Amino acid sequence: MKLKPLNPAVHHSTRYNMKISACLFLCLFITIQVLAQNSPSADYREEHRPQFHFSPPAKWMNDPNGLVYYEGEYHLFYQYYPEATVWGPMHWGHAVSKDLLRWENLPIALFPDKHGYIFSGSAVIDSKNTSGFKQGPNAPMVAMFTYHLMEGEKAGKSDFQTQGIAYSNDKGRTWTKYEGNPVIRNESGIRDFRDPKVFWHEASGQWVMILAAGDRAHIYNSPDLKSWTKASEFGPGQGAPGKPWECPDLFELTADGKSRWVMLVSLGNGAPNGGSGTEYFVGTFDGKTFKNDNPASTTLWVDHGTDNYAGVTWNNAPYGRRLFIGWMSNWAYSQKVPTEKWRSVMTLPRELSLFKSGNLTLLASKPVKEVEKLRKSRFVLDMKKPYHATSALQEVLLEIDLSKTTSTDIGLEISNKKGEKIIVGFDVKAGQFYIDRTEAGKRTFSDVFAARHTAKRVSGSNIMKMRLLLDTSTAELFADDGSVVMSDIFFPNEDFKTLKLLQNTGSLKVIKAEGFELKGTW
């Protein structure tokens, strides 16, 4: 067969096309590499990896940061060190979700710069463009965070933590640091000067920021997110004595139709079951000053488990919901927990509300209602035989009539075939809920990890209710409609799939003992 000579023009354009294709291919390859570097891919099937909780694709994560809702997306930024599974130079990792259940990992949002590492902080939508950062059709998203300058800390200075801002005009995908950073220098003489939470205060028509400063909180005002004026201080001597104060938050809720303001403060040390934990105050706020309703000695905890720290709430959440998420670990052992490729998980997103108990107004937390969409199949728990689940993703609902019960220890054992277990129960005489993880598998990584944690019951009702969510290595107990919460992590050598009701001697009046197998979201 005679080959037709190539038309030189066609030949040239073919080569040209091939060159373009090669270039495009190279660009695509480089883009994929860069994206892969920024958000390492993971299959989320590693040992201990929770399946319906957020955890980073790889490496180290601590506090949730920059929680804000914008145009159908819940943004979750977080303290991230992409080079190792222990704490290091902090970045802001980033993920978004449309339903608070399924998270999409996005490239790292903020990298350390000459002012320091990027510590915890918050994000707002500047819909009035008070900052002047707006370019294009979207309202700018503005993040405010703490700069931690390592050189300053090493030199023994006290001003190495300052506050900076950055903005994004593409829904948090790319960020520009403000050239006037830092916007708040540290002239306080206080070394721990960090974790700004900013929000728009409608009544006074200005931005308010609350900052943790050693053993107290500082409150600031701003018209434009760039210039800040200190308005007041709250503390010291309020609540639990632990230090330092970290990751504060301040927001309005109603109790019996009356407005109340809630201040969250995380304490590096001194939590009820040891290590770090988050307390709260209930009071009033006028745009400048927070006043505690209760005597300074009143100590209230968001969560009595050991694994809910640095939790804060979303700005701009739709339908007026006050949504919270915490870091599900504890500084007492977080850097030693036995996970290999990634370290740490967030709590389930929770909805906060207030309720009255005697003369106190207290905070209740419930898993967001979206979590019910994870329910796959229902099962009933029976005193006589354990239930064998198909996976380690379960929800259990228990309701006991205490007035018709003489047993004094009631609970649920969740175990594997190796004899490892956690027990989540209620000690009737002591009036205490508990989570016992003393025999829950791996524990030698820390002296304080294997323990039984307790929390005093608040409700006086005869009907005691427990709602428990289990996800591979996490247990979250929402007792009596979320009036007492305990979050604990654990590391079994084999999944916990066997559920058994427990009682000591005596009678037990069960009103409800059922559960659901749950779907994973990764």
Query: Could you list the active site residues?
Result: 63
Binding of ligand FRU at residue 123 (CB under 6 A)? Answer: no
Q: Which is nearer to ligand FRU, 49 or 194 (CB)?
A: 194
Task: Report whether 213 contacts 188 (CB < 8 A).
Answer: yes
Task: Report whether 11 contacts 353 (CB < 8 A).
Answer: no
* Burial status of residue 318 (CB atoms within 10 A of its CB: 0-12, 13-18, 19 or more): exposed
Quote the CA–CA distance of 209 and 357 in Å, as a whole number. 30
Sign of CA dihedral 81, 85, 87, 88: negative
Binding of ligand FRU at residue 446 (CB under 6 A)? Answer: no
Q: Which is nearer to ligand FRU, 165 or 424 (CB)?
A: 165
Phi then psi for 85, rounded to 5 degrees? Answer: -95, 20
Smallest gap from residue 282 Cβ to ligand FRU (A):
23
Binding of ligand FRU at residue 194 (CB under 6 A)? Answer: yes
Q: Which is nearer to ligand FRU, 90 or 381 (CB)?
A: 90
Q: Which is nearer to ligand FRU, 61 or 479 (CB)?
A: 61
Tell which positions 210-249 bind ligand FRU, by CB under 6 A.
Answer: 246-247
Helix (H, G, I), strand (E, B), or coil: what is residue 172? coil
Q: Which is nearer to ligand FRU, 95 or 469 (CB)?
A: 95
Quote the CA–CA distance of 233 and 64 in Å, as a whole number. 24
Binding of ligand FRU at residue 307 (CB under 6 A)? Answer: no
* DSSP H/E element including 283: strand 277-285
* DSSP characters over 30-64: HHHHHHHHHS----S-STT--SSS---SSEEEEEE
Quote the CA–CA distance of 94 and 79 in Å, as a whole number. 9
Q: Within 13 A of 12's CA, how many CA atoms are on the CB side?
A: 3
Binding of ligand FRU at residue 62 (CB under 6 A)? Answer: yes
Binding of ligand FRU at residue 329 (CB under 6 A)? Answer: no
Smallest gap from residue 244 Cβ to ligand FRU (A):
7
Task: Report whether 194 contacts 212 (CB < 8 A).
Answer: yes
Smallest gap from residue 327 Cβ to ligand FRU (A):
7
Smallest gap from residue 19 Cβ to ligand FRU (A):
47
Smallest gap from residue 247 Cβ to ligand FRU (A):
6
Q: Which is nearer to ligand FRU, 92 or 178 (CB)?
A: 92
Binding of ligand FRU at residue 119 (CB under 6 A)? Answer: yes
Per-residue binding string, ligand FRU, 74-103, x by CB under 6 A, is -----x----------x-------------
Paired residues of 425 in beta bridges? 411, 434
Binding of ligand FRU at residue 63 (CB under 6 A)? Answer: yes
Which residues would be at the binding site for ligand FRU (CB under 6 A)? 62-63, 79, 90, 119-120, 146, 194-195, 246-247, 310
